[in-house]
Amino acid sequence: MPAEILPGLADLIAAELAPKVVDIDLKGLYPGDFLKQLGTLGGLGSLTPVEHGGTALGLGHAIQLIEEVSKECVSTGFLLWAEYALQWYVINSSNRELAAEMLPKMARGEVLGGTAQSNSMKSCVGIEEARLKAKRVDGGYVINGVLPWVSNIGPEHYFHMGATLPDTPGL
């Protein structure tokens, strides 16, 4: 392998991911510990601005990390993509308070998360009905519905999703 794109990445993959690939793919073992350790190395902060605890090395660096992880385990590489996708949504949000709260924890691997956008995107183009319905209440929204599958979601994870409001077009 050429020069490591993240110091300690090869050792982390060899010690914490490679021995678990069969269990990840065949038994559904979730590689959360690996992802959190990757965050400790700085591997979850590629897209995150420095002021929010990231390395800001950019999309190319994030793609290289996904590639290196995927060489050992494509399933885990996909989960890493989901981490970056969620961060991208937050980084590009107009909600600066949310970014200040979430991004440092995500960049360090303290909190994991993913994107729940498949249904939202499909509903926007008429492939399927929006499954989440929102109702405005004091202090925010109440969301009802079911998403049968959300990539990289687990207890205490962050996620991003869309929901429809009654009598309001779009999400």
CATH number at 93 reads 1.10.540.10
Answer for the pair 88, 76: CB distance below 8 angstroms, yes or no: no
Chain segment 31-75, per-residue pLDDT in tens = 999 999 999 999 999 999 999 999 999 999 999 999 999 999 999
**Angular region, 160: left φ>0, alpha ψ -120 to 50, beta rest:** beta
Alpha-carbon distances of 16 from 4, 10, 19, 60, rounded to whole Å: 17, 10, 7, 24
Structure tokens at 99: 């970014």
Q: What is the domain range of residue 119? A: 112-171
Do both 99 and 164 map to the same domain? no
CA–CA–CA angle 53, 56, 58 (5° rounding): 145
Chain segment 119-129, per-residue pLDDT in tens = 888 888 889 88
How many angstroms separate the CA atoms of 114 and 83, rounded? 5
How many angstroms separate the CA atoms of 153 and 108, rounded? 17
This prediction has a pTM of 0.86
Do both 7 and 81 map to the same domain? yes
